[in-house]
Amino acid sequence: MEYWWNFDNTGFLMTTRSVDLSDFTVSISYMDDKVRHFDETDNQDKEARECEITWTHNSLSVTPLKYYLRENHENWESYIANRQMEILTDWFKELGYDPLYYNLDRETKTWNIKGAVETQEQKDKWLKPNPGNIVPPTTPEIL
């Protein structure tokens, strides 16, 4: 986690700038009973194993969370990705943060505070919102 310092009327307030949740493990186990579905590609009722997918964080003290879906579900990837987003949000809340003030970077699985001023361009604009070099100077016409 990375911290920075904000100043308000009550003194210095420590704010977490980013929270990296990427260090987790995803494991799959299979339920005992088979489940049924209808396969529209060949119009057949079929049976498949049901999977229990568990997300466990390796370094933070957060609750392991699960998801249940049958194997070879045609939307496996998107369902798992959506559930993983929910889990990263739930863990973030469990750690005491408010997702309202952060954005989740799906690639790095890191929550970053909104509105952070980081690049030199952002810093320059923060320090001087309307600098003279944004609009090039022009010579006014003589009426």
For residues 51 and 36, give the distance between their C-alpha atoms in angstroms, rounded to a whole number: 13
Residue from 70, 89, 94, 109 in contact with another protein (CB under 8 A): 70
Q: What string marks each residue from 74 to 113 as x (binds another protein by CB under 8 A) or -?
A: xx-xxx--xx--x---------------------------
Regarding 52 and contact with another protein (CB under 8 A), the answer is: yes
Regarding 31 and contact with another protein (CB under 8 A), the answer is: yes
Tokens standing for 62?
């957060």
Which one, 9 or 43, has the nearer CB to another protein?
43
Which one, 42 or 141, has the nearer CB to another protein?
42
32: DSSP letter:
E
H helix runs in the chain, sequence order: 76-94, 120-127
For residues 107 and 81, give the distance between their C-alpha atoms in angstroms, rounded to a whole number: 11
Tokens standing for 38?
């209808």
List residues near another protein by CB under 8 A.
Answer: 31, 33, 35-40, 45, 48, 50-52, 65-70, 73-75, 77-79, 82-83, 86
